Structures are given as C-alpha cells and as structure tokens.
Amino acid sequence: MKLTTTFYHRVLVFVVLLLATGCGTITPVSNPTSITPQFTQLVSDANDLASTVGQTFTPLPSATPNQTQIVQSDNISSTVSVAQTSASQFPHICKDSYYQPGYSPDGLWLVQLCYSENDHDLIMTLSSRETQVLWKLLYQKYIPKMDFVPDGGMSVVHWSNDGRYAYFNSFLGGDGGECFVSGWDSGAGLFRLDLQTGSVTALLPQNNTFWWYGFSFSPTDRRLVYGARARDLKILDITTGQLKNIFPKNDFSEGGGYVWSQDGLEFVYSTVTYADQGERNNYSLRLVDTRSGSERILLESSDTCFSTISWTEDNILTVEKNYGESLLEFNLNSNTIISEIATRP
C-alpha cells in the first residue's frame, strides 16, 4: 500500500525550504544562550484529531498592531535579500550545519539544522539578529515515539504575516513521490513557535497511528487545510478555531500540491488513486471552495499526473504534467484548457 511515498520524498527538499514569508524581532533577553521552548500539545489522541483540533486550537490574536506584536526593525527593510544577511550577525550553536542556513525574507531570523553532541539529538535553531535570542528545537520531541532515532529533520514551512509565529514541521527520511510533491506541505507533525515567548503549540501533533499529514496555509494566514495522509481534508480557521469538512467528489489514495487563490477562499490540489500492487489508475486536479467545503474535479487522467504551478489574478492555472512533460493553462472561469506547450521531447 503506497501511503508514504509522497511524504518520504520530502527529505531531499524540506531542509532547503527553511524560509517563507514575513518575520520580525522579539522581546530582548539578557542572555543570548540557547533556550529550549516550552511545548504544549493540543490534541493527545491522534485518532480523535479530526473532531478535536478545531475545538482545542487557540485562535491567533488579531493582526491589529499592539504592544505584544513583533515590530519590524527601523534599520532593515522587509525586502532585504538573504544574500545581504550574514550568519555571523546571529547567535548560533550549530558549528556544522547540515544544510545551507535559511533566513526570513526580511533578514531578521536565521534557521539552522545540525546535530548537537550535548543534546545527543538533531536540533533546529531559530535566532534573532537584533535581540540575539536563540530558540532550540529537539528533533525527537516532535516525532512519533520510536525504539530508534529515524532519519529526518525539521523545517520552517510558514512564517505568519504579522511576524509573530514560525510554523515548523517534523519529518521522517525516505524518497519517492508523485509529480505534485512540493516539499513543504506534509510532515509527521506541524507546530507553531511563538517567536516572542518561545512557547510551542502542536497544531497537528506527532502520533503513532499514521506516518504523515498533508497541509497548507492560505496566503492570508486565515486558513489551514490538513488531513492524515493528505486525505479526509479539513479546513481550520486559524482566527476563530472553526473546523470545516471538505467533501471530495470521489475517494483517492494520496493528495498534495496545494495552491491557493490570492484571497485565500479557494485552493486546488492534486490526487492519485492506487489499484492493486500500488499501480496508479487515476489522477485528478481538484478545486475546493473553503466557505462551503464543496469540491469539483477540473482534470482527470488514467496516466497523467498533474501539478499546479501558479494561480493568476484572472483565474488562470498553470499546470505541469508528468514531471515537466508539458505545461497547460486552465481557465477556471470557463472550465477549459486554453493552451498546452510541450516542455521536453
């Protein structure tokens, strides 16, 4: 049963996707040494995740500026490039980072992943250039309990638009996957780090009942779509805690490749259905309305894998077929393919 192939491909790409959009500074601390964040798990029973996550999730505070919100530094622009930011300006405990360090787009935060001899564990650190604080996250604290330490890691998959939170996932090692594998939309768990206080909240807790979640944040920070093995998808309203079911047109084995409309009210995603022996017998591209939870199938094929690249303001989707075999444009207003260009022989 191929339930883990999409997830396991992430090990090659998660660790280089340590940055997303937005960030800020935090309340200064007197000691710049590492601090292990306080951890709070929202859901204790993963089997009951679907019915409890919306009830137990604490809604985010309003985006209206207030005294507790992270304030952008006066001497750094939000458009500062990563290349202009030097790692030497940040506190760090990783002597040999496994991968090239990642930065927030405004250059205020550094993210590193390395093995800590002191902790006997893989760690991910987030450090502030301005306040010199450093948050340290221990890998084994954020993965399912096992008798051995598996290959894998952690990565920042989303920064809140107001700069207060860094969302990170934990993942287990492996390879493989469908063409819609995108590298930042799955994991063994999903967590929210408060950059001001260092408290960590489990949105999708690590568990022993399945290997991975599929998930994606809307560009407005309002909604999170998630599902165990990227199935039975649900939409969490992050500002209110309200949970809504998505009603699929038909069943499938695996999904992913979420791309949102700019207003965060709709998204598209790709699916695959496996027959006996793991053979693929159906691919589809689907559109979901987050307000109603309704879904419609845009494209279907028995042998063509779909991966959405972009969604423009005029409701044109650019879709890649079969790992770059061709690119097509799909008009959501007319529900038709308007062009297709072969990208390789």
154: part of which helix (H) or strand (E)? strand 152-159
- Domains of the chain listed by start with CATH number: 5-342 (2.130.10)
> What's the pLDDT at 343?
85
- The SS3 of residue 51 is helix
> What's the pLDDT at 16?
33
Lowest mean pLDDT among 39-43, 197-201, 260-264: 39-43
- Segment 166-204, tens digit of pLDDT: 999 998 876 557 899 876 788 889 999 999 999 999 988
pLDDT > 90: percent of the chain: 46
Q: Which residues pair with 283 in a beta bridge?
A: 272, 301
- The SS3 of residue 212 is coil
> What's the pLDDT at 213?
87
pLDDT band at 278 (very low <50, low <70, confident <90, very high): confident
* Residue 56 tokens, joined: 């137990």
Angstrom distance (rounded) from CA 184 to CA 32 = 30
Residue found under tokens 């096992």: 146
> What's the pLDDT at 78?
34
Which pTM does this prediction carry?
0.75
> What's the pLDDT at 312?
96
Short-list 141, 160, 161, 143, CA closest to 152: 143
40: part of which helix (H) or strand (E)? strand 39-41
Tell me the average pLDDT across 201-210. 78
> What's the pLDDT at 243?
92
Instruction: Give every CB contact of residue 6 below 8 A, 6+ residues apart in sequence.
Output: 176, 177, 178, 180, 181, 186, 212, 214, 230, 254, 256
Angstrom distance (rounded) from CA 269 to CA 280 = 17
Which of the two residues, 203 and 299, has the higher pLDDT score?
299
* Residue 136 tokens, joined: 């340290």
pLDDT band at 211 (very low <50, low <70, confident <90, very high): low
Res. 309: pLDDT tops 80: yes
- Segment 102-147, tens digit of pLDDT: 888 778 999 999 999 999 999 999 999 999 999 999 999 998 877 7
Instruction: Give every CB contact of residue 5 below 8 A, 6+ residues apart in sequence.
Output: 176, 177, 178, 254
Res. 51: pLDDT tops 60: no
Pairing mode, if any, of strands 243-245 and 234-237? antiparallel
* Residue 324 tokens, joined: 């770059």
Sign for the pseudo-dihedral over CA of 247, 213, 11, 33: positive
5: part of which helix (H) or strand (E)? helix 5-8
- The SS3 of residue 15 is helix
pLDDT band at 64 (very low <50, low <70, confident <90, very high): very low
Count the Cβ atoms, other than its own, within 10 Å of residue 336.
10
